[in-house]
Chain A
Amino acid sequence: MTEPTPVLSLRGISKRFGAVQALDGVDFDVHAGEVVALVGDNGAGKSTLVKVMSGIYSADAGECRFEGEPVDVRSPQDATDLGIATVYQDLALADNLDVVGNLFLGHELVRVGPQLDETRMEQRAKELLGTLSTTIPSVRTEVASLSGGQRQQVAIARSLLGEPKVVLLDEPTAALGVPQTKQVLDLVRRLRDRGLGVVVISHNMADVFAVADRIQVLYLGRNNGDFATADTTREEVVAAITGLRSNGKEPS
């Protein structure tokens, strides 16, 4: 069976902060139309790896390929230009603006001179949120009055306006109630169905098993397992996270 080229592929990524080896020869792949969960204990290097992918940190060693081509991601702008969008845990929404205002913040559509084209922005916002089947009541709602799950949906939808190929989600379901978590996970599935590569960082095993196709485990800055969700159990993954055992594809 010939594997298709991963949309984003990292090989042998290392990153050191002073005396701390945060990442040590980590490999990571995500394919188009696939949800990969990145899991691991606190300090395992999940956040560092995501920040390397999104261009906030540059790796000390290792290779990064985007759609098979070697690339050099040195800044968040580089990552955005390639088509890697990141939704951080703090969402970075302006509470006092409505949904449309937040979606287009910094990239407002204008008509004559600096005048905002509210009609076209609202149209596109409705289109986008419609195709994603989000649960946001009206695109003219002020973000301050949205629920946590709806705010997460706005942040994810915003990342899609740049037509990315890979979306990185940092703890998208943290601090959400059960029904809201379900809404966000439904949205993650729809991203996959649109052919995006989705990377989800999560602590929550139930969510990981509900949404991910593959689970990659980090332990103390190294790969410690790559599981197909269908073929594994929660016990196996937890054992890999805690370093008791590893399974799947071993780092060379």
Chain B
Amino acid sequence: MSTSSAAARSAESAPMPRSPREFLRRFGQGEYGSLRVLITLAVIWIIFGLAHDRFLSAVNLTNLSLQIAGIGLISVGVVLVLLLGEIDLSVAIVSGLCAAIMAVLNVKHGWSPVLAVLVAIAAGLAIGTFQGFVHTRFGIPSFVVTLAGLLGWQGALLWVLGDTGTVNLNAAFIVDLAGTFFDDVVGWIIAAALIAVYAAVALAGRRERLKAGLDALPAGLVVARIVAVAIPVLLTVWIVNQDRGLPLALVILVGFVILFDYVTQRTRFGRHVYAVGGNEEAARRAGIRVGRVRVAVFALASMMAACGGIMLASRLLAVNQSSGGSDLLLLSIAGPVIAGTSLFGGRGRVWSALLGALVIGSISNGMDLLAYSSDTKFMVTGAVLLGAVVVDAATSRRRRRA
């Protein structure tokens, strides 16, 4: 009885908090997940900013954005898989394999770089479709299917690279992915366009709701949201313009994040992904073809892994036998989880890929500046991940109890 009356009380709360107290309570229940990660990020930046005067310099922050581009792209796909409540352990090695396919086609077989990149992305799609098919058709847990993938695609990577082991990249199109910086003016134009589109969508949405007789956010709050988006965008461009300018890699990463945020939040497919992650049986009974949704998500995850692998190769200017190896897998999954995407499915946003990559990238970058060795770096990153999942578990338990 006490639980149900408490639930009734919490259900009476409107989408917007009405008092600071309610805000705190809902914050404690994990409702403002992205705010939590922003605070984490701010703390990390303040610590490293105080510890080393170059951490917050334009040069270093530009480097940071380049360092997170590849892993952030991989994490975008990981978020989709996590929303289903599944896991994909093959993303890192698939990123390496697809980059190797691109490199070998371009360098050894003389294919045009554009075609090589497209084939690599298509290979990612095919790999993901295959894994998703095995997972759904035979009912094998994604953990096992992608674990087999982790081993198998590692072999494929070595086979594709052949005797040479390392393939150096010099095609302009590929190298420029991570090596292009826009002029100051172009950077400002991109920022302005982004803000303008966001403002237009927000205001049009509000007008439509009012016209339909639904309650909408007060105009002041909509403007506040637009400002809240504009400030980080303008700040970013202002900072990178003091260095080499807006990196193309960052534009690509943010572009994919926006694209997949749209797909998950505003389309029927995205709604079905959340439904399958939240209650698969309910989704099936509602007529959703659960198997198809799953295969599509695994295909997209491997496709984003391919994109991330290409970006990493472009930055390294080479593909070698350790591409996609080391800590890439762990960090690309840890990022979204640190930024609030649940491991249990159904909760999280694509933005957590970007924010999580920023947290992990900042720790790594800052510790490099302070000349800590890998041992400390791993331990600190592990502690942050553990802290994040403990908070996630605690808040979701509190939400269930409410």
Contacts and interface: CB of A to CB of B under 8 A. Distances in A.
Interface of A: 90, 92-97, 101-102, 105-108, 110, 114-116, 119-120, 122-123, 126, 136-138, 140-141, 144-150, 177, 180
B268 A116 contact: yes
Interface in B274-289: 274-275, 277-279, 281-283, 285-288
Contacts of B11: 136-137, 141, 145-147, 150
- B contact face: mostly helix, strand, loop, or mixed: helix
A177 to B, nearest CB: 5
B275 A94 contact: yes
Nearest to A135: B8
B317 to A, nearest CB: 39
A177 B347 contact: no
Contact of B271 (A116, A136, A150): A116
Contacts of A90: 281
Interface residues of B, number: 38
B402 interface: yes
A97 B347 CA distance: 9
Contacts of A101: 271, 274-275
Contacts of A126: 214
A105 B274 CA distance: 11
- A contact face: mostly helix, strand, loop, or mixed: loop
B7 A105 contact: no
Contacts of B214: 119, 122-123, 126
Interface string B182-193: 000000000000
Closest A-B pairs by Cβ, 9 of them: A106-B286, A96-B278, A96-B346, A94-B278, A92-B282, A106-B287, A105-B286, A94-B279, A114-B267
Contacts of B286: 92, 105-107
Chain B CB count within 10 A is highest, among A119, A145, A149, for: A145
B213 interface: yes
A107 B287 contact: yes
Contact of B277 (A96, A107, A136, A145): A96
B268 A140 contact: no
